[in-house]
Amino acid sequence: MTMGNIRGKLTRNLDIRIVSLILAVTLWLYASTERYYKLTFRCPVEVRNIPQGFSLARCLPPVICDIDARGKDLIAFQLKKPLVVIDAENRQVKKLKIRLSPDHMILPFNLKARSVHYVDGEMEINLDRQAEKQVNIRLDMVGDPADGFVLSDNVGSEPGTALLKGPARQLEMLDFVYSAPIRVDGLSKPAMIRTALLLPDSCLFSVRPESVNVFLQFEKSGERVFKNVPLTVINRSRDYLVSFAPGTIDLVLSGPRNILDAAKSSDLKIFLDLSGMPPGAHQMQATIELPDKLVLIAASPRDFEVNIR
């Protein structure tokens, strides 16, 4: 049998074979998706009609439930999760215990389920008095400006505060909200950007405004050498004599040019902490505390000989 004859047999009625295969697969899919299956879902919970003046005191975890439905419907539930809805209307108490039933389940796309079973059929809902509080806005700066530049102290937002609304007890512990991360990588020129404010917990709190304008400004940075900055000791025992050498340190600092130029040696806190140190000879490194915006580049010496006797 020649290759042409073999090829002819393989390709004969090819269109009919393809159509038959498609029909077979379609019938199999239809039969499979029409069958009933049981799957476990983690369903989000939504509390509606919370009485005026009240708020959720804590976020509600997802409800674990077994749903028995047709295969094609369960596929749709993977795309959009079923929702457990609890109506808190006319509940003027701070703690509710709800016995969950299939009526609390809202299925997406108006689909139906043969049965719904909750792993834990009872849910506790805590309410708290709703309160408002004016809080500061903290800007979350991410990255480093262009070489030779640093962020200016004049960076700020408009407005500089926001009205945070949520459960009173938790609100008492909050004094600020953060902005979404603001990237300043490689920037050196003034800029104005719009950024969102981040909620402490999106299911409990709301904030106004939801976003603010942030005005970015940059300053040229520089370096400066501070020679012979004196050291001090802290937490020394009165029962011992203490000596250390050398008595000064040289520092190289970087930062905004105006802050560097105005800084004095007395603004730099360099000390040896003797807390818990026993008598004897010790090799120690000094603790270096610098004014805000200044960064340590180098220090000499790094180690000091300390004698406690």
pLDDT average, residue stretch 32-55: 86
The arrangement of strands across the sheet holding 63-70 comes to 36-43, 63-70, 115-118
> Taking residues 254-282, what's their average pLDDT?
88
Cα(first)–Cα(last) distance of the chain, in Å? 108
CA-to-CA separations, 122 to 63, 98, 126, 307, in angstroms, rounded? 10, 6, 13, 68
**Over the stretch 244-260, which tens digit does the pLDDT of each residue have?**
889 899 999 988 888 88
State how far the alpha carbon of 212 is from the alpha carbons of 29, 44, 183, 189, in Å: 52, 30, 15, 20
- Asked whether the domain spanning 220-308 has the same topology as the one spanning 129-216, the reply is yes
pTM over 0.75: no
Closest of 60, 129, 58 to residue 92, by C-alpha: 129
**Domain residue ranges of the chain, discontinuous segments joined by +:** 33-120, 129-216, 220-308
Strands, E assignment, 71-181 = 83-87, 95-99, 105-106, 115-118, 122-138, 141-142, 149-151, 156-158, 161-167, 176-178
Collapsing DSSP to helix, strand or coil, 174 comes out as coil
Residues 82-130 have pLDDT tens digits of 999 998 876 666 788 889 999 999 998 888 888 999 998 898 888 999 9
Residues 6+ apart with CB under 8 A from 26: none
Average pLDDT rounded to a whole number, residues 189-200: 94
Chain centre to alpha carbon of residue 254: 31
Collect all residues with Cβ–Cβ distance below 8 Å to 25 and sequence separation of at least 6.
none
What is the CATH number assigned to the segment(s) 220-308?
A: 2.170.120.30
If phi > 0 it is left, if psi is from -120 to 50 it is alpha, else beta; for residue 33 that is alpha
pLDDT at 45: 93
Is the domain spanning 129-216 CATH 2.170.120.40? The answer is yes
Question: Across the chain, what does the average pLDDT equal?
Answer: 86
CATH no., domain 33-120: 2.170.120
